[in-house]
Amino acid sequence: MSCFYLSASHKSSGKTVVSLGLCAAFKQQSFKVQAFKKGPDYIDPIWLAQASGNPCYNLDFYNMADDEIIQLYNNQSVNSDLTIIEGNKGLFDGMSVTGGNANADLAKLLNIPVVLVIDSTGITRGVAPLLSGYQTFDKNIDIAGVILNKVASERHQSKLIQAIEYYTDLPVLGCVRRSKSLVIDERHLGLMPANETPQSQTFIKKIANIIADQVDLNALMNLTCIKPNKQIINTSTIKEKITVAIAKDSAFGFYYQDDLDKFESLGVSIKYFDTLKNNNLPVCDGLFIGGGFPEMQLKVLNANQPLLEDIKTKIEQGLPTYVECGGLMYLTNSITYNKQTYPMVGVIDADTHMTPKPIGRGYVELEPTDEHCWSGVSKRIYAHEFHYSKLKNLNANTRYAFKVLRGVGVDNKFDGIIKHNLLASYTHLRNVEGNAWVVQFVNFISKIKKQKL
């Protein structure tokens, strides 16, 4: 199977745009492309899924065991012609100074060759010691080649290639010229989500054509690894029919694909709805609203009063509900952004205020409290948060599901607001071996459903 790990020397080298262009270019050649993203990222996977035509999966050392990473990679790669893993930050950047959780470690774990994307802005001969250093720093890494990005001119390109060929044995697999056509607007976590950009497919097609013209696709297809083992199928199911409504639109789109897969593997029927267009929730036994950027859609969200009232009524009547980050914001009394305030659902008696700088950003560690309404919750939960908002006017008697051991949560001490059968958290949970939250939530829905019979 053809495969490679796209990494860089540092963050913001342009590897995401290169990854998108490669996924789309190979897709145009009728290859089945499976993309992966390292780390706790929602935005890049949305783009990569659009570019490849297949769901993108996250691989994360923080909340996944090595065997779990390998199994997920194998399960999703087994039927593909090409797998592309996009790294985060630089090749050797990670949480520990001694390594163990960096891109390089993931490439070694999966035995995948690395292609370095080098931001060549303001550099010529200096690219040689940079690459030589990366080659010698960890000789167990198979650096298979380099793609030069943001190349200024033919003269600049010539100098870079001459230096690389003279001082290293690394092949130059592509030279991508600096272009305004290869820029995606940045906001918050980095890239504007593709689900907010109607022109995203036009943009992807444009960069696919540029990348196909400036990168050696045949050389990349020649980078191979061992075909993964047969896919492992999870056959566990729930006994009764359960339906979960999930918000999925331009306001809410941050979901881990394997979390959604887990719902389906349990036999849960998923009904997606649009918070901007649908006037009522679908008929359902449970509700899940993930993260996103609701602040960018405040006027439209507020205008859909029938849905706001329906959600509030259903939750107050006991509908089992789980919301994360943007979903939490949506359920508060109001959201204030750019000095404008719009009323929202109003189940959570607090007001959301957007801030210019992140309030909580990065990995979190949680400990469940006695107030947690689900059963079988792990004693330690490893997840992440990315929010540029904080809650004001929150009731002092608010009950919480989690004590925050690392991170910020709602108030630097607690996260996971409990009200009725609602759990609303700033933390983004991931259904992994150490935190089977989807199973716990579905079991909770089943319990409440039986109580109503």
Q: Domain containing 320 — which CATH number?
A: 3.40.50.880
Mean confidence (pLDDT) of the chain: 93
Instruction: Summarize pLDDT for 126-160 with one digit per residue, the tens.
Output: 999 999 999 999 999 999 999 999 999 999 999 99
Contact 376, 431 (CB under 8 A): no
Residue 245 Rama label (left phi>0; alpha psi -120 to 50; beta):
beta
Question: Which of the following is catalytic: 23, 56, 325, 373?
Answer: 325
125 belongs to a structural domain:
yes
Report the domain count for the chain. 2
98 belongs to a structural domain:
yes
Distance between CA atoms of 37 and 19, rounded to whole angstroms?
10
If asked whether residues 210 and 256 sit together in one domain, one would say no
If asked whether residues 165 and 250 sit together in one domain, one would say no
If asked whether residues 259 and 216 sit together in one domain, one would say no
227 belongs to a structural domain:
no
Q: In 3D, which of 148, 207, 165 has the Cα closest to residue 28?
A: 207
Segment 233-245 mean pLDDT: 78
If asked whether residues 278 and 385 sit together in one domain, one would say yes
Q: What pLDDT score does 176 carry?
A: 95
Q: What is the span of the domain harbouring residue 38?
A: 2-221
Distance between CA atoms of 108 and 126, rounded to whole angstroms?
27
If asked whether residues 301 and 211 sit together in one domain, one would say no
Q: What pLDDT score does 179 carry?
A: 87
If asked whether residues 211 and 262 sit together in one domain, one would say no
Q: What pLDDT score does 180 carry?
A: 82
If asked whether residues 372 and 440 sit together in one domain, one would say yes
Q: What pLDDT score does 189 carry?
A: 40
Contact 365, 380 (CB under 8 A): yes
234 belongs to a structural domain:
no
Q: In 3D, which of 258, 261, 224 has the Cα closest to residue 80?
A: 224
If asked whether residues 144 and 287 sit together in one domain, one would say no
If asked whether residues 216 and 276 sit together in one domain, one would say no
Domain containing residue 6: CATH number: 3.40.50.300
Beta strands in 298-359 (DSSP E): 321-324, 332-337, 340-343, 348-354
446 belongs to a structural domain:
yes
233 belongs to a structural domain:
no
Instruction: Summarize pLDDT for 188-225 with one digit per residue, the tens.
Output: 444 456 565 667 888 899 999 999 999 999 999 999 88
The answer to whether residue 446 scores a pLDDT higher than 90 is yes
Distance between CA atoms of 201 and 312, rounded to whole angstroms?
35
Distance between CA atoms of 380 and 365, rounded to whole angstroms?
7
402 belongs to a structural domain:
yes
Instruction: Summarize pLDDT for 352-383 with one digit per residue, the tens.
Output: 999 999 999 999 999 999 999 999 999 999 99
Q: Which helix (H) or strand (E) holds 131?
A: helix 127-137
If asked whether residues 42 and 189 sit together in one domain, one would say yes
If asked whether residues 73 and 160 sit together in one domain, one would say yes
Better-predicted residue by pLDDT, 452 or 231: 452
314 belongs to a structural domain:
yes
If asked whether residues 36 and 172 sit together in one domain, one would say yes
Residue 325 is a catalytic residue: yes
